[in-house]
Structure 1
Amino acid sequence: MEIGSRIRFYRIQQNMTQEELSRGIISTSYLSKIENNQTTASIEVLDFLCSRLTINLIEEEEIPLMKSLFDWYHDIVHRRQDTLKKRYEELREKIHSTSDTTAMLYFVLFEFRYLLTERDFTEAEAKLEKISLYKDIFEEKMTYYYEKFVGLHHYLQSKYSSALMHLKGAERFLTKHLPFEKWEEADLYYSIALTLSQLRKAALVIQYTHFALNIYQSRYDLMRCAECQILLGINYLRCEEYSRSEESYQLARKIAEQLNDKSLLGMICHNMGYLSSITKKYEQAIIHYNEALKYKNKHEALSTIFSILYAYYQLDKKEEAEKWILEGQTILKQNPNQEYDYHFKVYDSLLKGNLSAEFEFFMLEVVIPYFIEHEKQQYIIEYSELMASYFEERHKYKSAAHYYQIVCHALKRAYSN
């Protein structure tokens, strides 16, 4: 790494201003030029600056440390949870004693990715704030990881449009022929597909999922192949290609049974239930959903419980539906989840016929804005349509038209590929 970039890195790391570092040595404007690699300073000046930062003028590249960092990142992507924390502690100790600036920068990037894996969002936010100060000295490969990881961070915060922007920013570096492993390419393509799926861009999801699937198949990565098939199943369904959707789920199920992966089986059974529900085979959907619950932990069960409730609601079996609302609310006490709390409250009111002014306020001021903020087009459509009908029945046609307009806008966003 160029000396100017190194000086800037250590100055930021030590929370030192340019004025503090340059005082008594050179002007602040000249230091700025050095840090931006716009001028070549004398050895004497550089030596003074490095002494104040307590770093060596000559950087020592540590190849074994770099290898350890990338091995750790490989384990993060491949979800080898049993070794991640131990390796993190070991690398953190080594980084404190290294003078390899490049290794230090890769460590802070991979540390951010690790914190996302651990769902430690508070610490991740703090690290990201610091990392953003280093952006100007990143080499291209570092910028790729930065864009990818920020995209993942935004995805986990349900900021899907922003997540896609950053992930596509990372994708641009793949076309520059930088030396990335095939598994890294596949992971990025899958991440893009997953984000597009949240934005309901089905045709693009299928395209990117196939990019990832082709690589995973060539590497015999069965778990990731199954995940790709699930994503294909979801998006074939959205394209109303129901037989292809079922075919993808069956392929995923074969792999999940071969791997004896209960979490994967739970996900597949749930999605097969949703396929049955979409085709209005609600009794069959309930069978699939109940099978999914056998494989799911309590904290993973909310989406399936809500789906069972919805199926019973469609079958007009109110008592059964109410039982599942209670089941969901019991789980919510131990595992709070804002989205499902709203879902259960909405259907509780619908089942009890409690469509009061309080219900109207809750839908208009809380529920629909929540799903708009989180870009959940499916529920923007469903609940806006519900309120449009609600206003029509009360002869409030202007309000009804407004919510039909929201439905049209959400449909356009959901199906504009």
Structure 2
Amino acid sequence: MLEGKIIKFYREHQQVKQKDLGEGICSTTHISKIERGLTEVSKETIQLLSERLGIDMEKELENYKSIDSLLKEWHESIIKKLQTKADSIKTRLDGIHLLQIQDFYRTYTLILARYHLFSGENQLAKRLVEEMETWSGLSPYEHNMLLHIKGIYLMRVNHDFFKAISVLKEIRLDDYSNRECFYDLAVAYHSIHSNVLAYFYANKALQFFVEKRSFSRMIESEMLMLLQLEQSDDSNVENKEYQRLIDMAEDYELEHQRALLHHNYAYHQLRKGDFKSAGEYYKKSVNTRKPQDPNYLGSLEGYINALTKEGRTSKDELLQYIEEGLALARKGSNNTFYHFFTLHKLNVNEDIKGYYKYLEEKAYPHFQEMGYVLPMEHYGVLLFDYYMEKGDEGKANFYAKGLMEKFRKNNQFV
């Protein structure tokens, strides 16, 4: 009997003893049986107990019956990255005390952790992850959802992509129907420069988002697949592939996805050596975002890089952009982009000695610590060339060793 569950929840929530709740209405034994659903009870008794607890039983029953569908709808909006809808459902749920009842608490907490990660509230997510790790007796679905959350957390907060992959690959899809985890695996493999596996899992994610008819996630998956193709030596990614996705983002008014596409297409043009076009698309991405957007710094850094390589922007203007980036990186405690903008500043000021000193002592160790494969490879080559030109073969070999590890194979030749 739902009424009994609800009465027990509010009695315990208000720290009321059974004998005090039942005084003048019914016995303590009868209250116990009502709460456990072991006896029939009249509407008049339920009404009296509800009034003593200060609750509207009809409203509470309505809330109880709506929670399950609301939680599913909330989770679905997070999977589809519908921020406005997710925020709206969260507000509705905040007004329902019954979420703390045993029937819903674990599911609610799991989805709340996803919501915090989705909204960039990493410290709130961390506290929930730490709480959930103490839980016992998890259902198979709860266990696998927790693995998914931990994998996302390891990527986005700890930047431990190898551990994230290990955790995400423990997920059993027979017990957890959310194949969105394929996308997170793709991102993790992309982050360690494992292009084949990143493409493989992005393609599996794409199929899932097609089934969900989530156009924003379809675009993100295709975009991730394009990035993997670009990294291959025989890449033949055409401009029209990006333009198709940009048009799709515009048709569905997906501003975030359009900004991402402008950013990635700019990088595509940068790799081709079309610095003018790269600068134009990085600028579009910058203009679409707000400075507090975590992706703003990435587009600003790309814009500075394209302008510097094009060589048509004045030193003063470049330094103005760089100082903006440094200020935002300091404000957001973003050490990675602080290092990038500092390297840009040293480069624009033509301080070659200072550039390589900072790269070796500050930036490169940071990229190593964070496991950023592409920056490590790029700057490892720069440092190797720098020390070879200086005739310091010892230091050159140190960076060459790091680069050679990438190509080490476990072959068994004689």
TM-score tier by shorter-chain length is 0.7 to 0.9
1:285-364 residue pairs with structure 2 within 5 A? 285-299=278-292, 300-315=295-310, 317=311, 320=314, 323-334=317-328, 335-336=331-332, 337-356=334-353, 359-364=355-360
Whether the 8 Å contact between 1:292 and 1:304 is mirrored in structure 2 is yes
Query: In structure 2, do the counterparts of structure 1 residues 290 and 399 end up closer, same or farther at CA, with 3 Å as the change threshold?
Result: same
Q: Cα offset for 1:308? A: 2.8
Q: Does the 8 Å contact 1:148/1:188 carry over to 2?
A: yes
Structure 1 residue 144 corresponds to structure 2 residue 149: no
- Between 1:297-306 and 1:202-211, the stretch displaced more is 297-306
Determine which of 184, 205, 217 is the counterpart of 1:212: 205
Q: How has the CA–CA distance of structure 1 residues 321 and 253 changed in structure 2, closer, same or farther, with 3 Å as cutoff?
A: farther
Contact 1:381 1:411 in 2 (8 A): no
Change in Cα spacing, 1:329 to 1:247, as seen in structure 2 (3 Å) is: same
Q: Is 2:257 the counterpart of 1:264?
A: yes
After TM superposition, the structure 1 = structure 2 runs for residues 171-190 of structure 1, keeping only pairs within 5 Å, are 173-174=172-173, 176=174, 178=175, 180=177, 184-185=178-179, 187-190=180-183
Q: Rate the CA distance shift 1:330–1:365 in 2: closer, same or farther, 3 A.
A: same
In structure 2, the CA distance between the partners of 1:308 and 1:64, relative to structure 1 (3 Å rule), is: closer
Amino acid at match of 1:212: A
Residue 393 (structure 1) aligned to one of 374, 389, 395: 389
Structure 1 match to 2:169? 168
In 2, the alpha carbon distance for the partners of 1:94 and 1:328 equals 51
The offset of 1:245, in angstroms, is 5.5
Against the structure 1 CA distance between its residues 412 and 88, is the aligned structure 2 distance closer, same or farther, given a 3 Å change threshold?
A: farther
Compute the RMSD of aligned alpha carbons.
Answer: 3.0
- Residue 401 of structure 2, aligned match among 397, 405, 410: 405
Residue 243 of structure 1: how far off its partner (Å): 3.4
Instruction: Indicate which of 63, 86, 93 corresponds to 2:91.
Output: 86
Give a deviation string over 1:244-299, Cα, whole Å, max 9, x none: 35443223112112112333222212211211111222223223323333323334
Matched residue of 1:169: which SS? Answer: coil
Checking the alignment, whether the CA contact within 8 Å between 1:325 and 1:344 is kept in structure 2 is no
TM-score normalised to structure 1 length: 0.74
Q: Structure 2: how far apart are the matches of 1:121 and 1:289?
A: 27
Query: Please, what TM-score do these two structures have when normalized by structure 2?
Result: 0.75
Matched, 1:244 2:237: yes
| Stretch deviating more after TM superposition (284-293 or 399-408) | 284-293
Aligned residue number for residue 106 of structure 2: 105
> Helix, strand or coil for the counterpart of 1:109?
helix
- In structure 2, how many angstroms separate the alpha carbons of the residues matched to 1:326 and 1:207? 41
The one-letter code matched in structure 1 to 2:124 is E
CA distance in 2 between counterparts of 1:278 and 1:329 reads: 25
Secondary structure (helix, strand or coil) at the match of 1:260 reads coil
Unmatched tracts of structure 1, length 5 or more: 1-13, 15-50
Note if 1:227 corresponds to 2:199: no
Give the corresponding residue for 1:40. none
* Contact 2:347–2:355 under 8 Å retained in 1: no
**Alpha carbons 1:285, 1:311 under 8 Å: kept:** yes
Flag structure 2 segments of 5+ consecutive residues without an equivalent: 1-12, 14-31, 39-63, 410-414
1:50-65 superposed matches below 5 A: 64-65=66-67
Tell me the CA shift for residue 86 of structure 1: 0.5
Range with bigger deviation, 150-159 or 119-128: 119-128
Structure 2 CA distance for partners of 1:380 and 1:266, relative to 1, 3 Å:
same
CA distance in 2 between counterparts of 1:189 and 1:130 reads 25
Task: Give the equivalent residue in structure 2 for 1:195.
Answer: 188
The residue type paired with residue 85 of structure 1 is: K
Matched residues in 2 for 1:87 and 1:227: separation? 29
- Residues 232 and 245 in structure 1, CA contact (< 8 A), matched pair in contact too: no
Q: Structure 2 CA distance, aligned partners of 1:247 and 1:200?
A: 25
> Secondary structure of the equivalent of 2:352?
coil
Q: Following the alignment from structure 1 to structure 2, what is the Cα–Cα distance between the partners of residues 63 and 392?
A: 71
Quick one: structure 1 residues 164 and 267, their matched pair in 2 at CA, closer, same or farther if it must change by over 3 Å? same
Q: 1:411 to 1:63 in 2, by over 3 A?
A: farther
Q: Secondary structure at the match of 2:321?
A: helix
Q: Compare CA radii of gyration and give the structure with the larger one.
A: 2
Secondary structure in structure 2 of the residue aligned to 1:244? coil
Q: CA deviation at 1:348?
A: 1.8
CA distance in structure 2 between the partners assigned to 1:305 and 1:340 by the alignment: 10
Aligned to 1:269, what secondary structure does the other structure show? Answer: helix
Query: What does residue 274 of structure 2 align with?
Result: 281
| Corresponding position: 1:126 with 2:121 | no
Distance 2:406 2:302 in 1: 21
Counterpart for residue 70 of structure 1: 72
Instruction: Indicate how the Cα distance of structure 1 residues 58 and 224 shifts in structure 2: closer, same or farther if over 3 A, else same.
Output: same
Aligned-pair distance for 1:367?
0.8
- CA deviation profile, 1:350-397 (whole Å, cap 9, x unmatched): 2323234x6555322321111112221111112222222222222211
The answer as to whether partners of 2:74 and 2:90 remain within 8 angstroms in 1 is no
Residue 204 of structure 1, CA deviation = 1.3
Aligned AA (1:329) = E
- For 1:355 and 1:404, how far apart are their aligned partners in 2? 21
Q: Which residue of 2 aligns with 1:155?
A: 155
Gap change, CA 1:314 and 1:204, over 3 Å in 2: same
**Structure 1 residue 220, shift from structure 2 partner:** 3.0
* Cα distance change of structure 1 residues 328 and 385 upon mapping to structure 2, 3 Å threshold: same
The answer to which structure, 1 or 2, has the higher relative contact order (CA under 8 A, 6+ apart) is: 1
Contact 1:266-1:295 at 8 Å conserved across structures: yes
Q: Is the 8 A contact 1:227 1:252 kept in 2?
A: no
